[in-house]
C-alpha cells in the first residue's frame, strides 16, 4: 500500500476563538494530503483537467478523536485503499506532534469528464497509482 505523508501547520485562521481547529478545516487538510499523494506519483491535477477529466469527491466520512490546536504541526498520512475503474478511495489519518491520532477519514473520489459524468480513470493514471 502506497503511503504519502505531509506536514501541515495549524494557523490562527484555522481555529475558533479558543485556539481549537474548526471541524470543517480538516477537509482542507484531507484535500492537501490527496493532492500531494497525486503529485508525488507524477500526476498533475491541472494537467488532468486540461486533458478533460478531474477527480471529484463523492463521499467523505470523518471521525474526530482529539482536537488540533493553534500552531500544532500535524502529520497527514494518506493511502489509497481501493482503486476501481472510475473511482478510488483514500484513507487518511491526521496525527499531532506526539503521535496521537486526531482524525481518521475515508474519502471516495470519482473520475469525471468535462460534462460532469463518471468516466474511466485513464490508463496512464492507473499505472502511477
Domain that holds residue 118: 3-128
Q: CA angle, 106 as apex, 36 and 111 as ends, to 5°?
A: 65
- What lies within 8 Å, CB to CB, of 119 at 6+ separation is 53, 86, 111, 112, 113
Q: pTM of this prediction? A: 0.92
In this predicted structure, what is the pLDDT of residue 81?
Answer: 94
Q: Which of 16, 59, 71, 72 is catalytic?
A: 16
pLDDT mean over 12-20: 94
Counted domains in the chain: 1
Q: Is the pLDDT of residue 114 over 90?
A: no
* Per-residue pLDDT tens over the stretch 80-106: 999 999 999 999 999 999 999 999 999
pLDDT mean over 53-72: 96
Please report the DSSP string for 24-87 in residue order.
THHHHHHHHHHHHHHHHTT--HHHHHHTTEEEEEEEEEEEE-S--BTT-EEEEEEEEEEE-SSE
In this predicted structure, what is the pLDDT of residue 123?
Answer: 92
Q: Is the pLDDT of residue 6 over 80?
A: yes
Catalytic residue at 40? no
Place of cell 481547529: 21
In contact, 42 and 124? CB cutoff 8 Å: no
Rounded Cα distance between 121 and 128, Å, is: 11
At residue 63 the predicted structure's pLDDT band, cuts being 50, 70 and 90, is: very high
Rounded Cα distance between 97 and 56, Å, is: 31
For residue 29, what is the domain's CATH number? Answer: 3.10.129.10
In this predicted structure, what is the pLDDT of residue 1?
Answer: 64
Amino acid at each position: 500500500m502506497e503511503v504519502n505523508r505531509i506536514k501541515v501547520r495549524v494557523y490562527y485562521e484555522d481555529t475558533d476563538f479558543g485556539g481549537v481547529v474548526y471541524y470543517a478545516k480538516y477537509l482542507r487538510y484531507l484535500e492537501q494530503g490527496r493532492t500531494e499523494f497525486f503529485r508525488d506519483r507524477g500526476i498533475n491535477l491541472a494537467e488532468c483537467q486540461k486533458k478533460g477529466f478531474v477527480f471529484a469527491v463523492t463521499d467523505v466520512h470523518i471521525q474526530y478523536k482529539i482536537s488540533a490546536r493553534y500552531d500544532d504541526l500535524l502529520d497527514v498520512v494518506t493511502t489509497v485503499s481501493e482503486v476501481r475503474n472510475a473511482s478510488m478511495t483514500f484513507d487518511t489519518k491526521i496525527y499531532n506532534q506526539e503521535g496521537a491520532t486526531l482524525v481518521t477519514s475515508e474519502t471516495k473520489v470519482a473520475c469525471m469528464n468535462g460534462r460532469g459524468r463518471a468516466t474511466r480513470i485513464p490508463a496512464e493514471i492507473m499505472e502511477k497509482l
